Each structure stands twice: as structure tokens, then as C-alpha cells.
A and B are shown apart, each in its own frame.
Chain A
């Protein structure tokens, strides 16, 4: 069952990313990104990270992509083809990077297999554990509070940046 879920969500994630790359229209690309992020949320669920999957769904699928679609509507007038030299250049660099990544992953996996460790036990629901780690045991209290300040700064910053400049400046 878990293997089947992995295949579905993993396929969705990679397929969405591929459509984003290959499709000439940016609106199609943005919707493909939604599918891809949805796939990643599903992969979190197959890994037992239920709260993280939910957060991904709310923040990314619900929030970031809506922002992106708004920006697409406000700024983009026409889809553009990719020029051939850029394509070749990009394919070359990505191929090199992929080969290096494959090599690195192989090394890591060899170490993992040589360690002889077995599969860890099935994960428990994480929501209560994350709440405890954030506030009660206070392991992540400082980053938690720092994030709240950061969100305020982002809110003010985004409004300031996006506002049209008036005659009186600023």
C-alpha cells in the first residue's frame, strides 16, 4: 500500500516539475507546480510526517501558488519559447550536476547499507509531538518566536515594496 502511494505521489511530484520545465505556457507551468507540491505533500505522508504534509498543503498548495498565480496574471503578457543555445547550455549543466548527484547519493547509500541498520519502527502521529517540541520542551522555542517576528517583517516589507510610489516619495 505504501509502495503504491509512493509511486502515485512521487510520480505526481516529478511529472508536475517536468511539465513546469517543458510546457511553454507559464500558467500551465504554475498549475503543474501545484500538482508537484501536492505530490511532495503526499510523500511526506508516506514518510509518516502527517503534520508537515498538512502544513505543506496549506502553505504551499494553498498559499504560495495562489500568490504565484496572481503574479503571473499581473505581469506576464505572452508565453515565450526557450532559445536553443540556452536549452543546450542548461541541459549540459544539469547533466553534469545529475551525474555528480548520482555519485554522491550512491556513496551515501553504500554507507547506509554497510551500516547494517534495519528499518526503524513505523512512525507515530506527529502533531502532538511537534507541539511539545515547539513549546513545552522548548527545544525549538527560539526559532519559533523568531519566525513570528520574521513574518511581521515580511508582511510590512511586502506591503512597502509592492505599493506604488506617490508624489511625495516613499
Chain B
């Protein structure tokens, strides 16, 4: 479906110079909209999947943090893309802005916790930090 839409968008782009004089048909416009939206969705989906993969595969707590950052960015990209192509105005951007600020705060706290874990356990391997107190 997405591949077909991307091909559609490509075809539309090819046909665009001829149709420039006449008003584009509604179906053509809808195809172009779905095509642009789908390309952003593909990038966002890839970022999300790579973030999840990093979290699942790595054992270093810092990798987990970086994976979370990737996932947050993927979600933000979706917010902005849907707001842009859905005509929702600023709402998507405002939400993404607050997510960026919260992510910065989260990173600061998480890194403080990581440093503390490193001091207490001598390692930030998330499979070895298995006790609350010693």
C-alpha cells in the first residue's frame, strides 16, 4: 500500500508540469497528499523500529536512553507531519514542542540516575543491576 502510494506520488510529480496549467483534479491532489504523508510515515516508522531494536538488543543503559530518544523523535515527526498534511494548524507542533522539552528533562534525570548506578554497581549493564539495596 505504502509502496503503491509512493509510486503514485512519483507519477504525480512526473505529470505535474503538464497539469500545471489546468486545475489539478481532486483525486490527483488526494494522491499527492497521501504520497507526501506516506514518505514521512516511512521515515518515522524506521526511526521507531530502530529505536525499539536498540532498546531490545543493547544492554548498556545509555543505549536504552538513546533508543528512547529515537522513539520520541519518531512520534514527534508523526505529530508534525499529520498536523501539516491534515491541516490542523499549530496543535501538532505545540505538542511536539512540549515533548521535546520533556525529553530534555527526562534525559537529565535519567543520566543522573545512570551515574548513580555506575557509582553503586560499577557498571551500567542493565542485566546486572538487579538489587535495590545491598
Contacts and interface: CB of A to CB of B under 8 A. Distances in A.
Contacts of B31: 113
A59 B73 contact: no
Interface string B100-128: 11111101110111111011000010000
B56 A130 contact: no
Contacts of A63: 104, 107
Among B5, B30, B108, the most chain A Cβ lie within 10 Å of the Cβ of: B108
Interface string A145-160: 0010011001101110
Contact of A109 (B5, B32, B97): B5
B115 A113 contact: no
Consensus secondary structure, chain B interface: helix
A138 interface: no
A150 B26 CA distance: 47
Contact of A67 (B54, B57, B86, B108): B108
Nearest to A95: B49
Interface residues of A, number: 83
B110 to A, nearest CB: 9
Given A18-B50, A109-B37, A151 B105 contact: yes
B76 to A, nearest CB: 7
Given A64-B107, A102-B2, A114-B30, 6 more contacts: A6-B40, A30-B62, A36-B47, A36-B70, A52-B97, A98-B49
Interface in B81-102: 81, 84-87, 90, 93-94, 96-98, 100-102
Interface in B25-48: 26-27, 29-34, 36-43, 45-48
Contacts of B59: 80, 86
A60 B43 CA distance: 18
Interface string B57-88: 11110110110011001001100110011110
B34 A109 contact: yes
A119 B5 contact: no
